[in-house]
Structure 1
Amino acid sequence: MKIASFLLLFLGLTAFAPTPRLTTVKLGTGLAVGVPAGFTALPDDGIAAKYPSPRRPLAVYTNPSGRVDFSVAVRPTTFESMDYGVLLKIYKSSIQRLYTKVDFLKEDIRTVNGRDFIYFEFVSSVTDERRNIQLAPIKRYQTVQYAIKGQQLYVFTFVAPAEEQAQWKPTALAVMNAITLK
Structure 2
Amino acid sequence: MKITSFLLLFLALTAFGPKPKLTTVKLGSGLSVGVPATFAPLPDDGIAVKYPSPRKPLAVYSNPSGRVDYSVAVRPTTFESMDYAVLLKIYKSSIQRLYTKVDFLKEDIRTVNGRDFIYFEFVSTVSDSRRTGNQLAPIKRYQTVQYAIVKDQMYVFTFVAPADEQAQWQPTAQAVMGAIALK
**TM-score interval for Structure 1 and Structure 2 normalised by the shorter chain:** over 0.9
Deviation string, structure 1 residues 135-158 (Cα, Å, up to 9, x no partner): 110000000000000000000000
Shift of 1:50: 0.7
Q: Which residue of 1 aligns with 2:182?
A: 181
Q: Which residue of 2 aligns with 1:111?
A: 111
Q: Which residue of 1 aligns with 2:65?
A: 65
Q: Extract unaligned runs of 5+ from structure 1.
A: none
Q: How does 1:64-143 map to 2 (within 5 A)?
A: 64-132=64-132, 133-143=134-144
- CA shift in 2, pair 1:126/1:2, >3 Å: closer
What TM-score do the two structures reach when normalised by structure 2?
0.94
Where 1:57 maps in the other structure, the secondary structure is coil
Does residue 30 of the first structure (1) align with residue 26 of the second (2)?
no
Distance 1:52 1:10 in 2: 40
Shift of 1:7: 5.8
Where 2:166 maps in the other structure, the secondary structure is helix
Q: Which residue of 1 aligns with 2:156?
A: 155
Where 1:26 maps in the other structure, the secondary structure is strand
Distance 2:47 2:2 in 1: 52
Shift of 1:181: 0.3
- CA shift in 2, pair 1:7/1:149, >3 Å: same
Where 1:78 maps in the other structure, the secondary structure is coil
Residue identity matched to 2:150: K
Further displaced range: 1-10 or 48-57: 1-10
Deviation string, structure 1 residues 14-57 (Cα, Å, up to 9, x no partner): 33200000000000011000000110001111111110100110
Shift of 1:10: 3.8
Does residue 146 of the first structure (1) align with residue 147 of the second (2)?
yes
Shift of 1:9: 4.0
Shift of 1:91: 0.4
Distance 1:131 1:55 in 2: 33
Q: Extract unaligned runs of 5+ from structure 2.
A: none
Where 1:73 maps in the other structure, the secondary structure is strand
Deviation string, structure 1 residues 143-179 (Cα, Å, up to 9, x no partner): 0000000000000000000000000000000000000
Identity %: 84
Where 2:107 maps in the other structure, the secondary structure is strand
RMSD of aligned alpha carbons: 1.5
Q: Which residue of 2 aligns with 1:164?
A: 165
- CA shift in 2, pair 1:16/1:97, >3 Å: same
